[in-house]
Amino acid sequence: MFMAQVTTKGQLVIPSRLRRKYSIGEGTRVIFEEENGKITMQPVTEDYIKSVCGMLKAGNGASATNELLKEHREELKRQK
């Protein structure tokens, strides 16, 4: 377990051992999520991005974006 103190400006220093372990450097973006009264922090590193790639795929393997574009085109055709 690690502990840190929030400054008057709302800043928080991540302990150095955690920064090294999770490749958190200057400029690394961080996602904060709140769930069930807990706050979790996830650094947006290359490893994290690789781990979430493909999460938004449709059941047939197509990307959600392409599926939405396809549906939009079909809707436009129906309206004509």
Q: Is residue 75 part of a domain?
A: yes
pTM here is 0.56
Q: Is residue 6 part of a domain?
A: no
Closest CA to 60 of 73, 75, 70, 52: 70
Q: Is residue 18 part of a domain?
A: no
Q: 48: helix, coil or strand?
A: helix
Domain count, the chain: 1
Q: Is residue 33 part of a domain?
A: no
pLDDT in tens, the chain (80 residues): 899 999 999 999 999 999 999 889 898 888 899 999 999 998 887 777 777 666 655 556 666 677 777 877 887 787 76
Q: Is residue 7 part of a domain?
A: no
The number of C-alpha atoms within 13 Å of 61 and in the hemisphere containing its C-beta is: 0
Distance CA 23, CA 3 (A): 19
Q: Is residue 36 part of a domain?
A: no
- The range of the structural domain enclosing residue 57 comes to 45-79
Q: Is residue 30 part of a domain?
A: no
